Amino acid sequence: MTKKRIDDPTGQEESEATQGFSSSRRNFLRTGAVAAAGAAAAPFIGSSAQAATSSSSAGSMSMKDMPQLGQIPKYKDHGKGKTGMEAAENWVTDFLQPSTLTKDEQMAEMKFLHEAAAPYRGMHINVVSEVTGTHMFEANVLSKAFEQITGIKVSHDTMQEGKTVSKLETQMATGQDVYDLFINDSDFIGTHPRMDDVIPITDYISGEGKDLTLSTLDLDDFMGKSFCTWPLNDKMYMLPDTQFANLYWYRKDWFERPDLKKKFKKIYGYELNVPVNWSAYEDIADFFTNKVKHLDGKRIYGHMDYGKKSPSLGWRIHDSWLSMAGMSDKGLPFGKPVDDWGIRVNEDQNPVGCSVERGGATNSPAAVYAIRKYAEWLKKYAPPEAAGMTFSEAGPVPAQGHIAQQIFWYTAFTSSMTKPGLPVVNEDGTPKWGMAPSPHGPYWEAGMKLGYQDCGSWILPKTTPAKKRAASWLYAQFCVCKSVSLRKVWSALAPFRYSDVNSKEMGMAAPYLGGLVEFYRSPAKKYWTPTGTNVPAYGKMTSAWWENIAQVNSGALTAQEAMDKVAEELDNVMHRIQLAGLEKVAPPKLNPKKSKEYWLKQPGSPKPKLANENPPGETLPYEELLKAFNNPSSIGKKASKGDS
C-alpha cells in the first residue's frame, strides 16, 4: 500500500521502489505563495549579471501588479473564446506577463507560430512529462492557449518520472508512436545519442524543422545548453524547459545573531558564516545540534537529510554528492575522463569502467569518504526521524523552523519555503533563510563541478511521424519561447533562460526568494550541472545506488563495502550492454582490471586517500562567496578558517 501525502498528491512516490527505476525526483514541486510587496530590484551580482536591457511588456509594473509569485495558476480562458491571432492578443495582454519582450515582439512570435501551424490545424498530438509545477503549468494552461492560437490540440499527460521513462523506453523498443513528444531529464544525454533514438535538436532546426523554428528561439539564451550537448558531434539532443539546482540552505537569521556568532567563534576559532568546505559544515552541524540545542524553546538541529530505502535515496548520492566531495576529475559541465558517478570514459567517449580496478572512481577513497560522511551526519546531527524519511517527506521539514542548515537542498522547494505564516518567513514576506553555493569536500579542486542541477528537456523521438513531429515542435517552442518563459518561471521558480534570470522582474522578486536569483546571476551557477555524458544507460543504472546505500544506513554494509558493490553492479550493467551491442555510438568497452594501486598512482581520478580528510573549517559571508566564484581557486584564501 502506498501512503498518500500532501506533497505527493498522487500517492505514488514510493510505489515504484521495486521496479528498478527512480520515481519522480521532482514530484514534490507544488504550488506555493509569497506575500508580494513592493521592493526595489536586487543588485546584479557576479560577472554573468549583464542586466537585461530589453524593454519588457510589463513596463513599470510593481510587485503588487504582478501575478502571484511561486503559484501555479488554474486554467482560465484568457483567450475569451477566440481563436487564432485574436486569442493570441488576449493571452498576451491578459496572461503572458511578465515577459522580457515587448508586446509587439510577443505578438510577432505568436504570429509565426499561428502561421507555421496552418498545415497542422486540427491535428491532435500527445505529450508526456513528469509531475512538476512547470509541467502542470504547461499541461493545464499553456496547452490550451496553444490550441486556441494554433488550432493544434494537445493532450499533455503528467506522471511520475519512472513511468515517463518506462513509456519512453517501451516506445523506443516497439517503434509505436504513443507519445509524439517527451520531456525527460538531461541526465539522459549519455543515453539518447548512444541509443540513436531521438532526432538532435541541432539537426531538426537546420533541416526538417528549419521553416518551423522561431528566429527568436535563441539557443544561446538557454542556461542548460551545454547540459544537452553531445561532445562527439557538438549537437544539442534536447531542448531545456526547466531547471533547478541543488544548493546549500541555511537559517540566515540565526547565522547573523551576535550571541551565536560569538559562541561559535569561541568554540571553533573562526566565524559563523556560510561554510566553504565540509569541515565547516560539520562544525556548524555540531554547533547547532549539540552546543546550542534549543532556540526560542524549540529543539533544533544542525543538519537535515533523509535515509529511507527508496529510489529517492539514489538521487541523494548519484546527483553529484561524490563530486561535491571531490571524487571526479576536473571539467565543466562534467568531469573528464571520470565523472560524478565515477565512470571513466576513453578519448572516444566509450565508458570503460566504474571500479577503481578499471580506472573508475565509484569505490575510490573519495567516494567512500563521501558515503561515510553522509551516513555519519544523518545519524549524529539530523532529527532522529530523518533516517526513516524519503526525499519528498524530508523536503518540507526545514520550513518547520527547527533546522539550521542543509547541505543538499533543491531550489525547487523555494515556493514551499516562502508561504506567509511559516516560521521561516518574516512578516513582510521575505525569508529568514538563504540559499548559497554548496560547500565542498577535501578532495575537491578548482575546476571541478560543485553540485547538481536538474534540467528537464524536450526530445523529438524518432518514432514520431514527421507531421506530428512538426506540430509537436511548435508546441515545445511555445512553452519555452521568450513570450512565455518568464511568466512560466514566475509561477514555477525554475528558470532556464539567461534573459529571464537577468530581467528586472526577477530582480524585484529576488528579496522574496532567498538567493535564487543572485545564484543564477552569479558565475557560480556553471559549477552546478546534471548527470553527464559518461552514463550510458541512466534508467538501467540507478537501482544499484539506492539499494546499496540503504544498507550503509542500516549498518549491514560499511561505506567501502557498499561502494564496492555499486561499482561492480554498474560495471556489470555496462558489460551486458557491451555484449548485447545495444548502443550504436560510443558503447561501453570495459577496461581489463588492474590493481587499485596502479590506478591510484595515475594523475587525476581515482585519487589516493588523503592523509587528512578533515582540514580546518572555512567560512565566508554569503556575498563574498558569490563574488569569489569569479576565481574559484581564491575561495580558500579569503575564508575565515579554524585551526588545523
What tens digit of pLDDT does each residue of 317-341 get? Answer: 999 999 999 999 999 999 999 999 9
CA distance 60 to 511: 18
Amino acid 635: pLDDT: 64
| pLDDT classification of 391: cutoffs 50, 70, 90 | confident
DSSP 128: E
Residue 235 lies in a domain: yes
Amino acid 369 reads Y
CATH number at residue 474: 3.40.190.10
Q: What average pLDDT score do residues 498-507 get?
A: 97
pLDDT tens for 530-544 read 999 999 999 889 999
Residue 446 lies in a domain: yes
Tally of domains in the chain = 3
Residue 495 lies in a domain: yes
- Pick 21 or 279 by higher pLDDT: 279
| pLDDT classification of 63: cutoffs 50, 70, 90 | confident
Contacts of 598 (CB under 8 A, 6+ apart): none
Contacts of 296 (CB under 8 A, 6+ apart): none
CA distance 19 to 540: 11
CA distance 206 to 184: 23
Amino acid 632: pLDDT: 64
Amino acid 23: pLDDT: 38
pLDDT tens for 124-144 read 999 999 888 899 999 999 999
Q: Which domain, by its residues, includes 125?
A: 85-91+99-243+456-529
CA distance 336 to 351: 11
Amino acid 152: pLDDT: 98
How far does the chain reach from its first CA to its final CA, in angstroms? 51
Residue 164 lies in a domain: yes
Angle in degrees, 0-180, between the axes of helices 84-94 and 103-116, rounded to the nearest 10: 150
Is residue 7 predicted with pLDDT exceeding 50?
no
Q: Which of 260-274, 355-369, 388-402 has the lowest mean pLDDT?
A: 388-402
Amino acid 164: pLDDT: 85
The verdict on 506 and 590 lying in the same domain is no
What is the separation of C-alpha 371 from the centre of its chain, rounded to a whole number of angstroms? 21
The verdict on 116 and 170 lying in the same domain is yes
Amino acid 36: pLDDT: 27
Residue 42 lies in a domain: no
The verdict on 478 and 421 lying in the same domain is no
The three cell numbers locating residue 471:
506540430
- Give the CA radius of gyration of the chain: 24
CB neighbours of residue 384 within 10 Å: 8
Q: Are 404 and 301 in contact (CB under 8 A)?
A: yes
Report the candidate in 136, 135, 529 with the shortest Cα–Cα distance to residue 324: 529
pLDDT tens for 83-101 read 999 999 999 999 999 999 9
Mean pLDDT of the chain: 89
CB neighbours of residue 427 within 10 Å: 8
The verdict on 586 and 480 lying in the same domain is no
Residue 31 lies in a domain: no
Residue 77 lies in a domain: no
Distances (CA, A) of 14 to 1, 5, 273, 280, 424: 10, 11, 37, 34, 28
Amino acid 21: pLDDT: 31
The verdict on 512 and 547 lying in the same domain is no
> What is the pTM for the complete model shown?
0.88
Amino acid 584: pLDDT: 87
CA distance 467 to 413: 38
The verdict on 584 and 482 lying in the same domain is no
The verdict on 426 and 482 lying in the same domain is no
pLDDT tens for 174-214 read 888 899 999 999 999 999 999 999 999 999 999 999 999 99
Contacts of 181 (CB under 8 A, 6+ apart): 125, 126, 127, 128, 458, 459, 460, 461, 464, 472, 473, 475, 476
Amino acid 73: pLDDT: 93
Amino acid 643: pLDDT: 65
Question: Strands 235-236, 229-230: parallel, antiparallel or unpaired by DSSP?
Answer: antiparallel
The verdict on 280 and 417 lying in the same domain is yes
Q: What average pLDDT score do residues 17-22 get?
A: 34
CA dihedral 305, 310, 311, 316 (to 10 degrees): 20
Amino acid 634: pLDDT: 65
CATH number at residue 382: 3.40.190
pLDDT tens for 559-582 read 999 999 999 999 999 999 999 998
Q: What b-and-e string marks burial along 229-258, b requiring 16 or more CB atoms within 10 Å of the CB? A: bbbeeeebbbbbbbbbbbbbbbbbebbeee
Amino acid 412: pLDDT: 86
Contacts of 75 (CB under 8 A, 6+ apart): 140, 141, 144
Q: Is 430 exposed, middle or buried (0-12, 13-18, 19+ CB in 10 A)?
A: middle
The verdict on 150 and 258 lying in the same domain is no
Residue 62 lies in a domain: no
Q: What average pLDDT score do residues 209-229 get?
A: 97
What is the phi/psi pair of residue 244, to 5°?
-155, 150
The verdict on 202 and 125 lying in the same domain is yes
pLDDT tens for 155-181 read 999 987 778 878 888 888 888 889 999
Coil, helix or strand for 624?
helix
Amino acid 62: pLDDT: 76
Amino acid 48: pLDDT: 31
Q: Are 641 and 618 in contact (CB under 8 A)?
A: yes
CA distance 372 to 382: 15
The verdict on 290 and 331 lying in the same domain is no
Q: Which of 404-413, 585-594, 635-644 has the lowest mean pLDDT?
A: 635-644
Give one word for 69, left, alpha or beta, with left for phi > 0 and alpha for psi -120 to 50: beta
Is residue 6 predicted with pLDDT exceeding 50?
no
Is residue 288 predicted with pLDDT exceeding 70?
yes
* Domain finish residue from 512, 529, 546: 529
The verdict on 264 and 393 lying in the same domain is yes
CB neighbours of residue 215 within 10 Å: 8
- Residue whose grid cell is 550503509: 552
